[in-house]
Amino acid sequence: MKFLLVFDFDHTIVDENSDTWIVNCAPEKKLPNGLRNSYRPGHWTEYMGRVFVYLGNSGVQEDDMKRTMTAIPFTAGMVDLLGFIGENKEFFDCIIVSDSNTVFIDWILKAADFHEVFDEVFTNPAAFSSAGHLTVQNFHAHHCPKCPKNLCKRKVLKEFLDKQLERGVSYMQIVYIGDGGNDLCPVMFLKKSDVAMPRRGYTLEKKIAQLSQDLSPVGCSVLAWSSAVEIMSYLKLLIKE
């Protein structure tokens, strides 16, 4: 019996949003107003597709993007936490469910030698076109009214757990580590024995607090964190028990 660790990526594993960080590659490190204002709520992936076309047309190469992405800082304590998980893989299965994309996450994890820590990464598929532009697609289709068009993290988590059960794998506890509004849907799916770990001061923590005020609290335990060292302390207790 293992524990399942579910991580968001942006503002959770790394201390920035990888999609907005890539703008550091753009001419003068900014996007034209027309492009910036073209975002429609719930349609982030399509917006990023336009950003990548702009970067490609501005002469930004794959190597430039990779150099920029691998300079993104990890969240406080995260390097220690991921090192600890990597040393204790017999206790933990570990997945990422993120609204970033496969190329960015792959670059960042491999550059820091953390790709072995994670069993699977669920995120928007991306690839470079023959023209040298980065292209990105929606992760899946779903019918959840609470989530952005391209990704319902609850659906991803549920399908992963179902697949694991078919393989005979069940978990003593799920620990969900995230920060954003789109992390609330999977947190609401967690059971009483599970733990949600929202990043302190970010949207997920605020939304969980609001639900408690509305007298419809989430079903799982909630432990907020500022540094990933706090997450590591909790995981050490789990292993001891």
- How many Cα neighbours within 13 Å face the side chain of 67? 8
Q: Residue 214 catalytic?
A: no
Q: Residue 8 catalytic?
A: yes
Tell whether residue 10 is among the known ligand binding residues. yes
Tell whether residue 8 is among the known ligand binding residues. yes
Please check whether residue 160 is in contact with residue 169, taking contact to mean a CB–CB distance below 8 angstroms.
no
Tell whether residue 162 is among the known ligand binding residues. no
Which residue out of 8, 93, 183, 194 is catalytically annotated?
A: 8
User: Strand, coil or helix: what is 2?
Assistant: strand
Pairing type for strands 126-128 and 134-136 reads antiparallel
Task: Report the alpha-carbon distance of residue 82 to residue 64 in Å, rounded.
Answer: 26
Tell whether residue 179 is among the known ligand binding residues. yes
With tokens 């990526």, the residue in question is: 9
Task: Report the alpha-carbon distance of residue 8 to residue 100 in Å, rounded.
Answer: 9
Which residue out of 10, 93, 183, 194 is catalytically annotated?
A: 10
- Please give the annotated binding residues for substrate, written as ranges: 19, 99
List the catalytic residues.
8, 10
- Please give the annotated binding residues, written as ranges: 8, 10, 19, 99, 179
